[in-house]
């Protein structure tokens, strides 16, 4: 439960960071999907659902 809450917090912080980075190029949806997939791999590996080789 703690890890899921931490992952959601991380996603919220990543999505809010674009407000402060006005001089950077805007990110498309595929960039954010990739970031979410990376976070999901980390959480699933930590929870033992994936092996380290898969994650």
DSSP string, 28-50: -HHHHHHHHHHHHHHHHHHTTSS
Beta-carbon count within 10 A of 3 CB: 12
Q: What is the pLDDT of residues 12-53, one digit of tens each?
A: 666 655 555 567 789 999 999 999 999 999 999 999 999 988
Residue 54 confidence (pLDDT): 84
Specify the pLDDT at position 15: 65
């Amino acid at each position: 439960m703690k890890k899921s809450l931490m992952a959601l917090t991380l996603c919220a912080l990543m999505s809010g960071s674009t407000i402060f980075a006005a001089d950077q190029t805007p990110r498309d949806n595929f960039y954010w999907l990739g970031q979410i997939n990376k976070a999901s791999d980390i959480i699933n590996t930590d929870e033992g659902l994936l092996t380290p080789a898969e994650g």
